[in-house]
Amino acid sequence: MGRTSDANERLMDAALDLIWEESYGAITIDDICKRAGVAKGSFYYFFSSKSELAVAALERMWLEVSKPKMDGIFSPSVEPLIRIRTYLASMYDFQAEIKQKHGKVLGCPVMSLGSETCTCTDEQAVGAKIRELFARKRRYYESAIRDALAEGSIEPGDPGDKATAMAGLIDGILSQARILNDPEVLRALPDLAMRILGAKSPAQTTTAKA
């Protein structure tokens, strides 16, 4: 019983949007409340601090957005290198679309937030959550890489190392796209990943439409 509410979710969405559009340090609790259309009292009813909200928002994003999307793309029913190429091609599409809407390439909020908070002692909780999300994504990469190794479509090597390298490449190119405000650098991602993984033939996908 009692009153019902979605202020909870509105706050998480607003926080994530603002962090993405600006940065964690640049936004205040008041900003988040304003964007969410929620009063300060309600904020503190649900969350005890900005960092607690950020952690909850990240988990929500994973469950509502990232996981479903990755489950679809990294389906074991698809050839492993095609999974990876499809995933990477979708990044260009996504960032280009964001640039259309926002006028700015925003990159990956997990990456930006991670780099910003990971060394800050007051925000260990956020840093830990970020590392958790990185590890979850890595499992998809690693699984596809193991399958590719099994079918012999990439050169031998430790799947963990290959996944780390690919994750680094992806995050780096995404960050560059954000900093340069240019989605075009993402175009090369599928081919670059094939090189990093040591693919024997540069498996084709429907490339991102021009």
Partner DNA sequence: TGGATAGTTGACTATTTGGTCTAGTCAACG
Partner DNA sequence: CGTTGACTAGACCAAATAGTCAACTATCCA
Smaller CB separation from a second copy, 51 or 86: 51
The one among 19, 38, 145, 186 contacting DNA by CB under 7 A: 38
Smaller CB separation from DNA, 4 or 206: 4
Q: Of these partners, a second copy, DNA, none, which one is at the site of residue 168 (CB under 5 to 8 Å by kind)? A: a second copy
Residue 176 interacts with a second copy (CB under 8 A)?
A: yes
The one among 25, 37, 68, 202 contacting a second copy by CB under 8 A: 25
Residue 111 interacts with a second copy (CB under 8 A)?
A: yes
Q: Please classify residue 135 by burial: count the beta carbons closer than 10 Å to its beta carbon, then call 0-12 exposed, 13-18 middle and 19+ buried.
A: exposed
Q: Which stretch binds DNA (CB under 7 A): 44-52, 60-68, 152-160, 176-184?
A: 44-52
The one among 173, 183, 190, 208 contacting a second copy by CB under 8 A: 173
Q: Which residues pair with 154 in a beta bridge?
A: 199
Three-state DSSP class for residue 199: strand
Cα 88 to Cα 204: distance, rounded to the nearest angstrom: 12
Q: Is the dihedral of CA 16, 20, 24, 25 positive or negative?
A: negative
As measured in angstroms, the least distance from the Cβ of 53 to a second copy is: 16
Residue 23 interacts with DNA (CB under 7 A)?
A: no
Q: Is the dihedral of CA 65, 66, 71, 72 positive or negative?
A: positive
Q: Which residues pair with 199 in a beta bridge?
A: 154
Q: How big is the site for a second copy, counted in residues (CB under 8 A)?
A: 45
The one among 13, 15, 24, 50 contacting DNA by CB under 7 A: 50
The one among 115, 124, 204, 207 contacting a second copy by CB under 8 A: 115
Cα 174 to Cα 209: distance, rounded to the nearest angstrom: 19
Residue 121 interacts with DNA (CB under 7 A)?
A: no
Percent composition of the chain: helix, strand, coil (DSSP 3-state, to 5): 75, 0, 25
Sequence-distant (6+) residues with CB within 8 A of 153 are: 79, 80, 81, 199, 200, 201, 203
Residues that bind a second copy (CB under 8 A): 21-26, 104, 106-107, 111-112, 114-120, 127, 130-131, 134, 161, 164-165, 167-176, 178-181, 185, 188, 192, 195-196, 198
